[in-house]
Amino acid sequence: MEYRQLGKQGLRVSEVCLGSWLTYGGATEADTARTCIERAYDLGINFFDTANVYAGGEAEKVVGQVLRQYPRESYVLATKVYFPMGQGPNDRGLSRKHILEQCDASLKRLGLDYIDLYQAHRYDPTVPLAETLMAFDHLVNQGKILYYGVSEWSAGQLAHATDLTRLANLAPIASNQPRYNLLDRTIEQEVLPLCQREGIGIINYSPLAQGLLSGKYKPGQELPAGSRASDPKQNMFLNRGQLDQRQLLKIQRLQPIAEQEGLSLSQLALAWCLRNPEVSSVIIGASKPAQVEENARAAGHSLSSITLQRIEEVLEMEISDPVTVGA
């Protein structure tokens, strides 16, 4: 496993991070989740990402229970706060009250004394930004969290936040967790350049586009049994299993490029994200230990300029008439 610094911070994280969205504490059996996490640790993955809202807090319990068997200094645990965790008017968002209370709740579920990276799961326009940043700074000073970051913040929101942290001498934003993959490169326009300038590490989620870039979904064919797209519990972000054949055809044309590199399609997609030095780690999801093993092998693989150019040519290729293929 290869490791990178989290932006300009001294913290070193594995190039591949194991996430728990839509899997642990929910769709994946507890024993399988444990095996996946343990296999990741054995492969040198030291970075694990979860959130208070995942499976209503159950994901944190599962991840924490497994990781507690290892020395605390040997892994980096990241979790998040923002989404509703109750019915009350203060049970959501990025107010000082909600951030501090949810940090304590996450620590209790995780069974840990501190969180390595605590992230604002979204931007909260209803709360003064200074209040949010000061709450995270307070937790850093308390030692309950070591670093804090954000997820899905725009370039403008990040720029405003970094200005405030400098003016008020607050702990800096360490990371940003956006969606980024071969099929969604939106952050390259504004967010990624800003993170580069400010030294904010990118830890992108959905690097395999919810499994589309694994190559398991074939144009014109039924969805594989047991796949995320075929599972009503997990396919809400995959158009309920109604996949765009135009995308599938484009993905299929990446397969020979991956084979020439000696990689699986998943490994190619992860290595493509990691070609960017601003990307500190890519967050994978895994419901099987074999998926962890395959994806972990993407770490440390540099793609040649010729390969990158071939990928660009496929991505720029026009394929007309989108058609959906589903279960």
What are the extents of the domains in the chain? Answer: 3-215+275-301
Q: Give the per-residue pLDDT at 229.
A: 52
Per-residue confidence (pLDDT) for residue 221, from 0 to 100: 56
Measured distance CA(175)–CA(177) in Å, rounded: 7
> Annotated catalytic residue: which of 24, 41, 54, 147?
54
Question: What's the CATH architecture for 3-215+275-301?
Answer: Alpha-Beta Barrel (3.20)
Active site residue 70: no
- At residue 45, the pLDDT reads 98
φ/ψ of 260, rounded to 5, equals -65, -30
Confidence band, pLDDT 50/70/90 cuts, at residue 95? very high
pLDDT at site 327 = 39
319 has pLDDT over 60 = no
Tell me the mean pLDDT in the region 262-279.
96
- Of residues 38 and 252, more confidence is placed in 38
Closest CA to 304 of 265, 264, 275: 275
Give 235's pLDDT tier (boundaries 50, 70, 90).
very low
Check residue 326 and give its pLDDT.
44
Q: What is the mean pLDDT of the chain?
A: 90
pTM of the model: 0.89
| Contact of 39 with 70, CB cutoff 8 Å | no
End-to-end CA distance of the chain: 37
Residue 113: the pLDDT is: 97
